[in-house]
């Protein structure tokens, strides 16, 4: 359901503009990397805008509905980072061990400034999830990550 707003504004039986057939088929990279650095956390990364949008989750990501996790947005990473596993050396940013915790694809269902709805097709996480910007403690890097209830 990408391009929802674009499509809502147009009647394609009357305008020659493209509907954008391709966007619905697009499957994007989804990965969560378990990162044992000074503090253990899980890095959620979603291929979006040509990069991996990234969030650090301090506790294990939720498999089921009803568990909300803080997800702190971090800097965009290159798409190739989805394949990275290994040891970041002592003294380097994020020093510690990175390993793939879950991996697959996702579809973007809906997105605005403060809400990203995705359909995850991973091995551990499956189904509809939400990232909700909370601005908790006045910091707009703070989001919540949780599995969507049906119809929410």
Note the residues at the interface with Mn ion (CB under 5 A): 35, 43
Least Å from the CB of residue 103 to Mn ion: 16
Least Å from the CB of residue 104 to Mn ion: 19
Q: Which is nearer to Mn ion, 43 or 47 (CB)?
A: 43
DSSP codes joined into one string, the chain: -TTHHHHHT--TTT--S---THHHH--EEEEEEEEESSSEEEEEEEEETTEEEEEEESSPPPSSTT--EEEEEEEEE-GGGGG--EEEPTTSTT-EEEEEEEEEEEEEEEEETTEEEEEEE-SS-EEEEEEEE--GGG-TTEEEEEEPPTT-
Question: Tokens 């989805």 label which residue?
Answer: 82
Q: Which is nearer to Mn ion, 35 or 147 (CB)?
A: 35
The C-alpha atoms of residue 146 and residue 104 are separated, in whole angstroms, by 17
Q: Which is nearer to Mn ion, 43 or 102 (CB)?
A: 43
Q: For Mn ion, which residue has the nearest CB? A: 35
Least Å from the CB of residue 33 to Mn ion: 7
Least Å from the CB of residue 3 to Mn ion: 32
Q: Which is nearer to Mn ion, 77 or 126 (CB)?
A: 77
Least Å from the CB of residue 2 to Mn ion: 28
The C-alpha atoms of residue 126 and residue 50 are separated, in whole angstroms, by 23
Q: Which is nearer to Mn ion, 81 or 132 (CB)?
A: 81
């Amino acid at each position: 359901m990408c391009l929802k707003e674009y499509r809502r504004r147009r009647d394609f039986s009357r305008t020659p503009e493209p509907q954008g057939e391709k966007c619905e088929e697009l499957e994007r990279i989804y990965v969560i990397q378990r990162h044992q650095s000074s503090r253990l956390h899980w890095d959620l990364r979603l291929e979006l805008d040509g990069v991996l949008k990234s969030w650090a989750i301090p506790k294990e990501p939720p498999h089921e509905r009803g568990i909300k996790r803080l997800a702190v947005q971090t800097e965009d990473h290159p798409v190739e980072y989805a394949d990275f596993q290994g040891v970041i050396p002592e003294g380097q940013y994020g020093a510690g061990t990175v390993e793939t915790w879950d991996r697959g694809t996702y579809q973007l269902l809906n997105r605005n400034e403060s809400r990203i709805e995705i359909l995850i097709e991973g091995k551990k996480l499956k189904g509809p999830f939400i990232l909700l910007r909370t601005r908790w403690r006045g910091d707009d890097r703070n989001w919540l990550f949780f599995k969507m209830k049906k119809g929410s």
